[in-house]
Structure formats: C-alpha cells, structure tokens
Chains A and B, each alone.
Chain A
Amino acid sequence: MLMPSVKIKLFATLRKKYGVREVYVECDGTIKDLIENASKILGEEFFNDIYDKERNKVRDDRIFTVNGRNIKDFKGNIEIKDDDVIAIFPPLAGG
C-alpha cells in the first residue's frame, strides 16, 4: 500500500532546535506514526517534544495544524493524507 507522504514544517524554537524548516515524512495515516517517522530523521527527542506518550496524543502545549487547521478543532479521528501540510509550533503569542 502506498503510504501518505506529507510535509512537516517546524517553527520558532522547534526550528531552532532541530535546525530544519521542513521535512518530508511518510506515515500510515496516523499522527503518532507520522511523528515516530519524523523522529527517525530528527532524532528521538523530537517524539517527546511533540507527543505525550502517557496520554497517547499530541502534547497540549503544541499548536499542531493539518492544512492550517489546529487538530484540537477537529471532530473525530484525524487521518493524514498524501500531500497534507503539517505545521508544528511551540507555545507562542504576541499581539
């Protein structure tokens, strides 16, 4: 089966820490697999930086969007599809 391939964009302190603006990653359609595969490229620490293992979900303090929509605003399961664009931000603010 063809795995969905998506672009992950990193911002702010995450970009600084991992030294990349974006990476291309394949996954089985779930966010957890996507982040696991991204950590194979970016290092194991990346997984813990983004994912809350104990609660089995993306960390609450991350702004994690799929095609511009925050996953916290999705109703039901999220399926990652081919060519989706993922953006991940640490906590930030301004005004």
Chain B
Amino acid sequence: MSGGYMGRILRVDLTARTLNVESTPEEAVKRYLGGKGYAVYTFYQYLKDYESKGILPADIDPLGPENVLIFATGPGTGVPGFPCSGRYHAMALRSPLTGSIGSANSGGEWGPFLKFSGFDAIVIEGASEDPVYLSIVNGEADLRSACDLWGKNVFDTCRILTRKVGGKNKSVACIGPAGENLARMACIVNDEHRAAGRTGLGAVMGSKKLKAVVVSGEEKVPVAEPDKFREISRECLEKMRKNAVTGEGLPTYGTAILINVINTAGGLPYKNWQTGVNPDAEKISGETLAETYLTARRACWGCIIGCGRITSVKTGPFQILGTEGPEYESIWALGGSTAVKDLDAIIKANHYCDEFGLDPISMGSTIAAAMELNERGYIPKEDLQGLDLKFGNSAALVEAVWRTAYRTGFGKYLALGSKKLCEIYGHPELSMSVKGLEMPAYDPRAIKGIGLTYATANRGGCHVTGYTVSSEILGIPEKIDPLVPEGKAKWAKLFQDFTCVVNSTVNCLFSTFALGVKDYADLLSAITGWSLTEDDLLRIGERIYNLERVIINKYGFDGNDDTLPGRLIGEPMPEGPAKGHVVELEKMKEEYYKLRGWINGKPSSEKLKELEIEL
C-alpha cells in the first residue's frame, strides 16, 4: 500500500452485527485520494449494487437501514508535519435534510486518531435494533451496547466513552439527543465541540441507533519519502507562519473576525436575508468576542493556526463558565439572521448546539425563517405553544434550540429544517435554502460568485464547496470584484475542484489561505510516493465533483435544482454597497455548465469519458 494509508477499511453491518476488515482499494484511492473522494467512489458502488437488486436510488430512505454512512480520512490525515491535517470527512448516501448526498467535515483529533487505530475509513450500513457504539482500539473493532448512553448529551457521551476506552490517543465522535430524535439538522460531534455539522448526518446515526464511534491507537501513518516530505513540510509550515492570515489573523481572532468585513461589503444576511446589512454587527463581531468573552485558543491536531475559541459568559441568564466558539457561521446564523444582538445568548445557543448535536447554520436559519413566518402572521398561535418567535428575541432563540433537539412544542416543526417548515406554513419562498440545505453567511447579491457556488453545490446551499468569498472579498489568492457576475464560473469551478482535493486529502481548508495546489501536490507526492502534479490533483478534484454530481442526478436533482431562493434572484438588495443588486444566476450558470461540460446540471458522456469515470 502507498504511503499515507493504513491500508485497512472497516465495514460494519449494524443489522447483521458484523464487522469486516477490507484492504484499502489502492487503484481507487489513486483516482479519488481518500476522504470525500473515497466515500463518493464507494457510494457509487452501493448505488450500482442497489440498482442491480431493483432498488432505485431515489427510493432510498435517508433514515432507513439502506442508507450508508462513511467516516473517511485521506493520505494527509494524521501525518505529523502536514499542516492542519487533523480532520475527517463524513458522508451519507442520502441526507435526511435534503435528499441529496450527505456530506460534512470536522476537525479536532478524531480523524488522525482513527488512522492511529489502524483504519483509513469506516463504512456503516444497516441499522441496529438497540443503541450501540462502535469501539476501535489498536486495530480491534467491536460493537457494544449504548443503552446506558442513549439520551445523554454530547459532552457526557464523550467524557464517559473516553474514560472507558484504554490506551493513548482517545477520541469520540457521537450524537446527542438531536440525532437520537432524528432532528433533520442533527450533526455528529467529536471531541465535545468539533462537528461534522451539515446535512443532518447526526440523524442518520440516530436512525441506525449508532450513538458513537470511539477510536484509540498508537499506529503511525507511513510516509513514502520521509526526507523529501520533511523538507517540503518545513517550507509549507514556514509559509503558513509568515502568512498574515494563517500566521496572525486567524490565530488572533478566529473565524468571527469576518462579521465586520462581510457586513461592510453589505453581504451579511439579516432577518432571514431581508437585507445584507446588520446594524448591530459590531455587537456580535469577532473583535467584541475577543475583547469580552475569549479566554483561550484551541487548535485541532497538527494545526499551527489554532482558530478555535474558548469562551465564557461570566454572568447573567446565559451564563456558561466554559465553552468553545462560536464561529463566524454560528454567530451569523444564530445571531445575524435572527437579529439577536446579544452575544451572551448567541454563545449559549451555540453551546446548546454542541451539547445536543445540532448544526448551528441550519438551526439558526430555520429559527430565522420561523421568525419571519411568525411576524408575517403565517403561524397559528397555538402551534407556537408560547414560544415568542420574534426577530431579536434572545430568550426565544435559546429556547428554540433545545426544543428542536428534544422535538417538544414548536421544536417538532423546527426539527424538520427550514424547507419543510416553510412548506408546512404555505410559504416555501421564505426558506433560504438550496436543495433543502440552509445557505451560510454570505448574501450573493453582494458577493455574486458565492451565489453560483450555492446553486451548483452538490450537497446544497454551502460555502465550503467552493469558497469564492476568498477572492471576492478577502483577495486570496487574487482580488476579483464581488458585484460582477462575469468570470465567476471559472473561479467557482476552480474552488470546487480544489476543495474536493482538500476534503479528500483530508485537510483543513484554512491551509489554502497560505498553500496552493502546487504545495498540496508536493506534499502528497512525498507522502504517497506518487508523482502528482497540480494538473493531476485538479483532475482528481474534478473527477470527484462529477461523480458526486452523477449520484445526485440519480436522486432526481438536475439543472432546475441548481438555483437560489427567489428573494436573491428577484428582490434587489435594499441597502448598502450592493443596493439594487440581485444575483444574475442564469448568466453565471450558463458559463459554468459550459466550463463543466454539463447539460442541464448533468455531466455529459464526453465529460465523464474525459475524466475516466466508468459508470
């Protein structure tokens, strides 16, 4: 097996209660790397198998035993000296929130520790009748009863299982009550505060009665050319230390520093995207977080940035003596979109998201949608059961989060996500989502390229599929005008393809603020022993993105679903530097499809042939 891989994959059938160890498929990882790429490759094999048995992909129940959940690392994960390689990628054949593919990425320590336990990936199929957890210690895997853990929150589950398992390098990925109760935006949380947040993967675990996966081990990741790798690693680490973003900006302020700059550009969605200017941005900014709440920093395994924030709310009704976060996205979704300007309440709501296992982006956005529905008089009073869902109501925000996790009161509606919620109350246009996934914290009327990324992202409204904001606002790697639609297709495609590489390596996207495709090619070549060029890597990324697209096409998604909420296409931005702007989506999409070689959102047979994707 090539360097970078442990060479073993664990396949678990929860229905049959069997665990099988398989070899990591060398030919497949040469074409798809690992992480996301490996999961997409494996999903396609599952779909072919299902189709041969007469099960149509579109009929797969995301909460049924036929759904498949994968935790995967890549060749960079857990390699000391590979900058920021403390991550894993989790995917589900189908997301219970969207019906598209489920996909999320997380930091902390769990990814590297899975490799140290002896495995590159875990493939989980079937469903258990009783709660179980999966234990993997030094290459030995075992399913154990989780009856005594069912009902416990994330923090307790992590602490109990960490104590139970022996050895070094212990880490727990688990669900909280939200996942157990099948809240559609439930996430998988590892190391207490790091989460594979998006697309409801926690509900998939809940449906399989899989409470947790605990890993521990002391194996080392093999490196094909250690001397060469050390040299390249040293250069890359030096680049990151000297880079103003990875060396100073992110360590000092974390991600929340974006609040003011995005608001200044008029792209910070406010009150469920009614405008892109938040008059109270300063109160919830990264600067305020650092001045008032920050107590320490936290870094993921192998990270020299350390963007994690340890914070505390010292007094008041939302007091928390120690928590982690919130991140930029969490502050925006729980605060900006809901117009809550009380950072105490936002920190508490974010803490609850971690404690109960909820994705703060979808959670906050769903609450914001409910607030608009309520303020417009579309929700009967009796449905709310006393929950005063008005924009800016801090107490209602915090209550809505725990009610969602336990699906009590109005929480039973919120737990369905904004798309279903708005459909139930007859106003689907108020769900600020794409393919059912709530969009993150950038209004594309002010940042056009990110609108194209949202619309064409395979998992739905997502910024980390292709972060064009980096060029449009931050000027990395080069500055482009956010208000101009022309030329954005090229950037969206490039960011999407490179991000597939990063998520298949599996590494932190923040490394790319300092490192480029060439750095990744050099690092991965030295680790694996393959000779990878920049073109090779981008081709792998493009292959992954296209195969993922083929999969979602099988669920019925096509060009008509590559769209944005009507508000962004039809309602001009009312104020700020983007005043009067809408997203010229069709124009950008036409250029994008041409570059991608897609017809109505589907890869052409020529494109698939060119990328050597065998269907």
* Cβ contact within 8 Å between A94 and B258: yes
Cβ contact of B481, chosen from A15, A21, A67, A73, cutoff 8 A: A73
What chain B residues lie within 8 Å of A90 (beta carbons)?
244, 248-249
* Cβ contact within 8 Å between B469 and A89: no
A63 to B262, CA, bound (A): 11
B557-610 CB contacts (< 8 Å) to partner A: 576-578
Which one of B264, B328, B463, B473 has the greatest number of beta carbons of chain A within 10 Å? B264
Q: From A63, which residue of chain B is reached at the shortest CB distance?
A: B261
What chain B residues lie within 8 Å of A95 (beta carbons)?
255, 258, 328-329, 463-464, 467, 469, 509-510
Q: Is A76 an interface residue when CB atoms closer than 8 A count as contact?
A: no
Q: Is A65 an interface residue when CB atoms closer than 8 A count as contact?
A: yes
Q: From B578, which residue of chain A is reached at the shortest CB distance?
A: A68
Q: Is B34 an interface residue when CB atoms closer than 8 A count as contact?
A: no
User: With A93-B474, A95-B509 as given contacts, are A12 and B258 in contact (CB-CB < 8 Å)?
Assistant: no
Q: From A87, which residue of chain B is reached at the shortest CB distance?
A: B264
* Cβ contact within 8 Å between A92 and B258: yes
A55-95 CB contacts (< 8 Å) to partner B: 61, 63, 65, 67-70, 72-73, 87, 89-95
Main SS class of interface, B: helix
A70 to B265, CA, bound (A): 8
User: With A15-B287, A63-B474, A73-B481 as given contacts, are A94 and B256 in contact (CB-CB < 8 Å)?
Assistant: yes
Q: Is A11 an interface residue when CB atoms closer than 8 A count as contact?
A: yes
A93 to B470, CA, bound (A): 8
Cβ contact of B249, chosen from A65, A69, A72, A93, cutoff 8 A: A93
What chain B residues lie within 8 Å of A87 (beta carbons)?
260-261, 264
* Cβ contact within 8 Å between B475 and A72: yes
A90 to B482, CA, bound (A): 19
What chain A residues lie within 8 Å of B260 (beta carbons)?
11-12, 87, 89
Hey, what's the 0/1 contact readout for B167-203 against A, CB within 8 Å counting as 1? 0000000000000000000000000000000000000
* Cβ contact within 8 Å between B261 and A72: no
What chain B residues lie within 8 Å of A94 (beta carbons)?
250, 254-258, 286, 307, 327-328
Q: Is B402 an interface residue when CB atoms closer than 8 A count as contact?
A: no
User: With A95-B463, A95-B467 as given contacts, are A89 and B266 in contact (CB-CB < 8 Å)?
Assistant: no
Q: Is B253 an interface residue when CB atoms closer than 8 A count as contact?
A: yes
Q: Is B232 an interface residue when CB atoms closer than 8 A count as contact?
A: no
Q: Is B513 an interface residue when CB atoms closer than 8 A count as contact?
A: yes
Q: How far is the CB of A68 from chain B (nearest CB, A)?
A: 3
Hey, what's the 0/1 contact readout for B442-470 against A, CB within 8 Å counting as 1? 00000000000000000000011001011
Q: From B254, which residue of chain A is reached at the shortest CB distance?
A: A94
Q: Is B29 an interface residue when CB atoms closer than 8 A count as contact?
A: no
* Cβ contact within 8 Å between B265 and A11: no
What chain A residues lie within 8 Å of B261 (beta carbons)?
11, 63, 87, 89, 92
What chain B residues lie within 8 Å of A61 (beta carbons)?
244
What chain A residues lie within 8 Å of B473 (beta carbons)?
63, 70
Q: How far is the CB of A89 from chain B (nearest CB, A)?
A: 5
* Cβ contact within 8 Å between B266 and A73: no
Hey, what's the 0/1 contact readout for A2-46 against B, CB within 8 Å counting as 1? 000000000111010000010000000000000000000000000
* Cβ contact within 8 Å between B244 and A91: yes
* Cβ contact within 8 Å between B249 and A13: yes
A32 to B328, CA, bound (A): 33
What chain A residues lie within 8 Å of B328 (beta carbons)?
94-95
Q: How far is the CB of A83 from chain B (nearest CB, A)?
A: 15
A40 to B250, CA, bound (A): 30
Q: Is B252 an interface residue when CB atoms closer than 8 A count as contact?
A: yes
Q: From B257, which residue of chain A is reached at the shortest CB distance?
A: A92
Q: Is B483 an interface residue when CB atoms closer than 8 A count as contact?
A: yes
* Cβ contact within 8 Å between A68 and B576: yes
What chain B residues lie within 8 Å of A67 (beta carbons)?
577
What chain A residues lie within 8 Å of B613 (beta carbons)?
none
User: With A73-B481, A91-B245 as given contacts, are A68 and B266 in contact (CB-CB < 8 Å)?
Assistant: yes
* Cβ contact within 8 Å between A72 and B479: yes
Q: How far is the CB of A92 from chain B (nearest CB, A)?
A: 4
Cβ contact of A73, chosen from B245, B257, B482, cutoff 8 A: B482
* Cβ contact within 8 Å between A12 and B265: no
Q: Is B476 an interface residue when CB atoms closer than 8 A count as contact?
A: yes
* Cβ contact within 8 Å between A93 and B245: yes
What chain A residues lie within 8 Å of B475 (beta carbons)?
63, 70, 72
Q: How far is the CB of A95 from chain B (nearest CB, A)?
A: 6
A67 to B483, CA, bound (A): 14
What chain A residues lie within 8 Å of B479 (beta carbons)?
70, 72-73
What chain A residues lie within 8 Å of B252 (beta carbons)?
12-13
Cβ contact of A68, chosen from B254, B265, B464, cutoff 8 A: B265
What chain A residues lie within 8 Å of B265 (beta carbons)?
65, 68, 70
Q: From A89, which residue of chain B is reached at the shortest CB distance?
A: B261
User: With A11-B260, A11-B261, A13-B248 as given contacts, are A93 and B577 in contact (CB-CB < 8 Å)?
Assistant: no
Which one of B248, B255, B257 has the greatest number of beta carbons of chain A within 10 Å? B257
What chain A residues lie within 8 Å of B327 (beta carbons)?
94
B252-278 CB contacts (< 8 Å) to partner A: 252-258, 260-261, 264-266
A92 to B247, CA, bound (A): 10
* Cβ contact within 8 Å between A73 and B576: no
B131-147 CB contacts (< 8 Å) to partner A: none
A15 to B257, CA, bound (A): 12
A92 to B513, CA, bound (A): 10
What chain B residues lie within 8 Å of A15 (beta carbons)?
287
A56 to B165, CA, bound (A): 62
* Cβ contact within 8 Å between A92 and B264: no
CB<8 Å pairs between A and B, sample of 28:
A11-B257, A11-B261, A11-B287, A12-B286, A13-B253, A21-B282, A63-B261, A63-B473, A63-B475, A65-B265, A65-B577, A68-B265, A70-B479, A70-B482, A89-B261, A89-B264, A90-B249, A91-B243, A91-B244, A93-B510, A94-B254, A94-B256, A94-B327, A95-B258, A95-B329, A95-B463, A95-B467, A95-B509
Besides A70-B265, A94-B328, 19 more A-B contacts (Cβ < 8 Å) are A12-B249, A15-B287, A63-B474, A65-B264, A72-B479, A87-B261, A89-B261, A91-B245, A91-B474, A93-B249, A93-B258, A93-B470, A93-B476, A94-B250, A94-B255, A94-B257, A94-B307, A95-B258, A95-B464
A-B pairs, 4 with minimum CB distance: A68-B577, A94-B255, A91-B244, A92-B249
